[in-house]
Amino acid sequence: MATPSLNLPLIDLSSTDRAATAKSIRQACVEHGFFYLINHGINDFVVNSMFRESNKLFDLPLSEKMKLEKGKTNRGYTPPYAQTLDLSSKFKGDLKEGFYIGPIKDRNSPNQWPSKESLPAWRETMESYYEKTMNVGSRLISLIALALNLDENYFTKIGALDPPKAFLRLLHYPGEISESDKGNYGASAHSDYGMITLLVTDGVPGLQICREKDRYPQLWEDVPHVEGALIVNIGDLMERWTNCTFRSTLHRVVAVGKERYSAAFFLVPNYECVVECLESCCSETSPPRFPPIKSGDYLMERFRRSYGY
Ligand SMILES: O=C(O)CCC(=O)C(=O)O
Ligand SMILES: [Fe+2]
C-alpha cells in the first residue's frame, strides 16, 4: 500500500496579526505537532551555503571526521550507527551520520570545527546559519507562548531561553545501503526531546510522521517537501509543559535509495530550567501527567540512552 501524504498546516512568520498566527500555531500543535514555517526570513543563499559546506564535511574521509568525534558534551561528528533513536530497533544503529554544533557563545563546552586549511568557510557559514535559525526559533517560541495563553516572553522569563540553548545537527543519509541494512532506517522512529525543532532538508523524500503513537498498526504518512519552508515540530519537553495539549509526534526517516542531507535545529530549554505543567494546561479534571523535571537531567538521560552509554 502506498504511504499517504500529508497536508500539514502552513504558518506565516511574517504575518503582523500575531493573535491569528498564535491561533493557527495552537491548532497545528494540537492536531499534528508538526507544521511548515514560511516567510521565516532565512534566505536561500544562507540555506544553500549551509548545505554546500555540510556536504564538504561529510565528503571528508572517515578518519578525518573521526578526529572531530562527538564527546559527552554533544559537539562534533557522529558516524553511521552511532545512535539508535528507536530503542526497540533490531539493527546496530541508524544509518545517518551527523555533526552537532552547540551554542556558539558557550565557553564551557566549546564546539569542534574542521580545520581552516581543509574547510576555510565552514565555521563562519555554520555560525551564521545557527544564529539566524536561533532568531527564528526565539520568535516562534514567543508565538507559542501566546498560543498557550501566556505572556509572549513567558519562556524567557522562566529561564528556558536564558541563555538560549540549541543544537544544530547536520545530517547525511546514505544512498545505497548494504544487504544487512535492508529494512533499517536513516533515522528510526522517535520524538524529539526539547521544545521545538526547526528542520530543513535538501528536498529528497524520506521523512514520515505517525500521528497516533499508540495506535496499532501504526499509520506512517510522508511529509512532502515545501520549497523554502522550515519544518517545525514539537519536542517532548514542550509536550510535558503543555500536559500533552501540544503533541510531540513520532517521526522517522526511511531509506529511499537516494543520498539525503538535512539540518535539524533543536531548541531545548536551558539545562537549569525546571519543566513543569503550565497552569494554562491543567485543571481539576486534567491534572498534571508528569512530575516537574530539570531540563538538563531529562535531556542527558535521553541522549545517554540513544547513544548507548
Ligand atoms: O532528517 C530529517 O528529515 C529528520 C531528522 C530528525 O528527525 C532528527 O534528527 O531528529
Ligand atoms: Fe527528529
Radius of gyration of the chain (CA): 19
CATH number at residue 191: 2.60.120.330
Contact, 23 vs 144, CB < 8 A? no
Contact 196, 141 (CB under 8 A): yes
Q: Kindly give the number of the ligand 1 atom that is closest to the alpha carbon of 192.
A: 10
Q: CB 255: neighbour CB atoms within 10 A?
A: 20
Closest Cα to atom 9 of ligand 1: 264
Distance (Å) from CA 285 to ligand 1 centroid: 35
- Whether 4 maps to a domain, the answer reads no
Which of 303, 302, 292 has its CA nearest to residue 241? 292
ipTM, interface predicted TM-score of the complex: 0.99
5 lies in some domain: no
Task: Give the model's pLDDT for residue 162.
Answer: 87
Spatial neighbors of 24 by CB under 8 A, at least 6 apart, are: 9, 11
Nearest ligand by distance to the CA of 187: 1
Asked whether residue 157 is domain-assigned, the answer is yes
- Please tell me the distance between residue 190's alpha carbon and the centre of ligand 2 in angstroms: 6
Ligand 1 atom with minimal separation from the 171 CA = 1
Report the pLDDT value the prediction gives residue 77, as an integer from 0 to 100: 97
d(CA 270, CA 275): 10
In a domain, 200, yes or no: yes
pLDDT of res. 21: 98
**Closest C-alpha to 303, from 272, 258, 271:** 271
DSSP 3-state of 263: strand
Instruction: Give the pLDDT of residue 151.
Output: 96
The Cα 133–Cα 125 span in angstroms is 12
Expressed in angstroms and rounded, the spacing between residue 123 Cα and the centre of ligand 2 is: 24
Q: How far is the CA of 192 from the centre of ligand 1 (A)?
A: 9
Q: H-type helices in 121-193, by residue range?
A: 122-147, 154-157
Crossing angle between the packed helical segments 18-31 and 122-147, to the nearest 10 degrees? 90
Condensed to tens digits (0 to 9), the pLDDT of residues 128-154 reads 999 999 999 999 999 999 999 999 999
Residue of 91, 269, 268, 102 lying closest to 187 (CA atoms): 91
Domain assignment present for 196: yes
Q: Note the pLDDT of residue 1.
A: 56
| Closest ligand 1 atom number to CA of residue 262 | 1
The answer to whether residue 192 is domain-embedded is yes
What's the pLDDT at 108? Answer: 84
pLDDT at position 3 is: 66
User: How far is 242 from 224, CA to CA, in rounded Å?
Assistant: 27
Where in the sequence is the domain holding 111, given as residue range(s)? 10-307
Give every residue of the chain whose pLDDT is below 70, as ranges: 1-4
- Ligand 1 binding pocket (C-beta < 6 A) is 169, 171, 187, 192, 199, 201, 207, 251, 253, 262, 264
Residue 59 DSSP SS3 = helix
Ligand (nearest to CA of 202): 1
In-domain check, residue 3? no
Residue among 199, 221, 302 to mutate when testing ligand 1 (max atoms within 8 A of CB)? 199
Distances (CA, A) of 231 to 37, 56, 199, 207, 262: 6, 24, 5, 10, 11
Beta bridge partners of 41: none
Domain membership flag for residue 1: no
Domains in the chain: how many in total?
1
